[in-house]
Amino acid sequence: MSIPLRSLTRTLTRVSRTTHNPSIIRPIVLQTPPHFRQIVSRTPAAAQFSTSPIRLKARTIGQIRARNATGPFSWKSALLFVLTGAGMIVYFRVEKERLERKRVAEMSKGVGKPKVGGPFVMKDLEGRVFTEEDLKGRYSFVYFGFTHCPDICPEELDKMAEIIDKVKEANKGENVFLPVFITCDPARDTPEVLKNYLREFHKDIIGLTGTYDQVKQVCKAYRVYFSTPRDVKPGEDYLVDHSIYFYLMDPDGDFVECIGRQDTPDSATKTIMEHINDWKREGKPLKKD
């Protein structure tokens, strides 16, 4: 990106140098004043790139001379040149970042690329069936965990709560973001247990649970490692090892990016909002109700 930018700047400089170079225009003008307008109109490139079209309006040689007396590089044109250049640099940087995010976002859409996410059937805490279709239409934020988790999950869920509020604020209250908590420990995490647990973090978090095989299936789809034993004796105390990432999924249900332990609520919100804004800018459908 930096090379085309540099060559473009170079071209621009060259063009402006040619159009402003008095040695080309002035001698002709002075020697053959009657043809001046013709010369100008015959060179549309000059008219197009010139930052001082007022030249065309000059009627007498005196006016032309007065205008050229300051030279082509007046402070105004220099300022304009610098501002345009700075503007373009900023624009190219922004555009570069956007394309980079787009590349990341579309990486999982291609054929033969690693796919995170996919079909699953679980139940929400009201007992309704919840599948991957229910995630679509909004950006979803999926986290896997279990309620008997000693320290990492609670910390991450506190972070999730902060992210939910920050993203909501950044979207001016639009309901475009769907935070989801999927349990890896269905034997202990029944709807009632999950409901009480999640309520302490954020009311917007949707808790999902299911049978052992359903949980296994969704973890497989999201490439989540978990170590929940299948047959747990009632009352047995155990921990579950599991992957600790947040998965950001786009409204098509495709994986976009991981948010990990190293992210702060602010850096995570920034990443999420960049993707949401890109999606909005491209005019793609997004549920807001």
Query: How many CB atoms lie under 10 A from the CB of residue 68?
Result: 16
Residue 289 is a binding residue for another protein (CB under 8 A): no
Pairing type for strands 206-209 and 139-145 reads: unpaired
Is 227 exposed, middle or buried, given 0-12, 13-18 or 19+ CB atoms closer than 10 A?
exposed
DSSP state of 232: P
Residue 253 is a binding residue for another protein (CB under 8 A): no
* Piece in contact with another protein (CB under 8 A), picked from 47-55, 73-81, 161-169, 195-203: 195-203
Instruction: Please identify which residue in 43, 154, 212, 217 interacts with another protein, judged by CB under 8 A.
Output: 154
Q: How many CA atoms lie within 13 A of 205 on its CB side?
A: 29
C-beta of 4 vs 127, nearer to another protein = 127
Residue 156 is a binding residue for another protein (CB under 8 A): no
DSSP, collapsed to helix, strand or coil, labels residue 202 as: coil
Residue 126 is a binding residue for another protein (CB under 8 A): no
C-beta of 34 vs 234, nearer to another protein = 234
Instruction: Please identify which residue in 188, 206, 251, 265 interacts with another protein, judged by CB under 8 A.
Output: 188
Under 8 Å CB-to-CB from 63, ≥6 apart: which residues?
A: none
Q: How many residues in total does the chain contain?
A: 289
**105 forms bridges with which residues in the sheet?**
none
Contact 180, 135 (CB under 8 A): yes
* Piece in contact with another protein (CB under 8 A), picked from 7-15, 31-39, 237-245, 271-279: 237-245
Residue 191 is a binding residue for another protein (CB under 8 A): yes
Contact 118, 221 (CB under 8 A): yes
Residue 150 is a binding residue for another protein (CB under 8 A): yes
Residue 110 is a binding residue for another protein (CB under 8 A): no
C-beta of 162 vs 274, nearer to another protein = 162
Binding residues for another protein, rule CB under 8 A, total 21
Instruction: Please identify which residue in 235, 262, 282, 289 interacts with another protein, judged by CB under 8 A.
Output: 235
DSSP state of 233: P
The footprint of another protein (CB under 8 A) covers: 147-148, 150-151, 154, 187-194, 196-197, 200, 234-235, 237-239
